[in-house]
Amino acid sequence: MYTVSETLKSGWKQTYPAGKTYSVEINATSLNVINRDFGNQLIPSCCNCPVKAYFTYKQVASPARTIQFTDTSTGYVTDWSWSFGDGKTSVERNPLHTYSKAGSYTVKQYVQTIKCDGKTAWVSYTRTVTVK
């Protein structure tokens, strides 16, 4: 494991030799870090790993009109964002969402990955979900 002990500035970047998988631990101690879990994320050495967003869904029995969404994306995904087609959103990986009425909704899933240059990129998948 690599340990980096320094004050990180905006845009900070750490590069590791290719061909291995590294365990990197980042502990955020600033009050300016909001809603971000840095703990023990496994970063693959493959920066060209293709990412494909995809999800499945099923309606659960209770409460009524509730859908369980399951992320089945492939590749190295770091974050998720969902738009359920009814004005509601989520950043959970596998959200449970209750619709106010039955019908068809256009659901968009966005997954984030890290490109070879260290920058992030979002990939999306859209499908129609029928709520009974």
Q: Provide the residue-wise pLDDT of the chain in tens; the chain has 132 residues.
A: 445 555 555 555 666 666 666 655 555 554 444 445 444 455 555 566 789 999 999 999 999 999 999 999 998 899 999 999 999 999 999 999 999 999 999 999 999 998 877 788 999 999 999 999
Q: Answer for the pair 121, 113: CB distance below 8 angstroms, yes or no.
A: yes
Q: Taking the CB of residue 87, how many other CB atoms lie within 10 A of it?
A: 7
Task: State which CATH number among 1.10.1270.20, 2.60.40.290, 3.30.70.360, 2.60.40.10 fits the domain covering 55-131.
Answer: 2.60.40.10
Instruction: Break the chain into its structural domains and give their ranges.
Output: 55-131
Q: Taking the CB of residue 105, how many other CB atoms lie within 10 A of it?
A: 18
Which tokens go with 77?
């995904």
Q: Answer for the pair 124, 108: CB distance below 8 angstroms, yes or no.
A: yes
Cα dihedral 69, 124, 84, 87 in deg (nearest 10):
160
Distances from the Cα of 113 to the Cα of 11, 43, 58, 65, 105, angstroms:
17, 10, 26, 31, 26
Which tokens go with 7?
């004050």
Question: Any idea what the Cα angle at residue 23 is, between residues 91 and 3, rounded to 5°?
Answer: 110
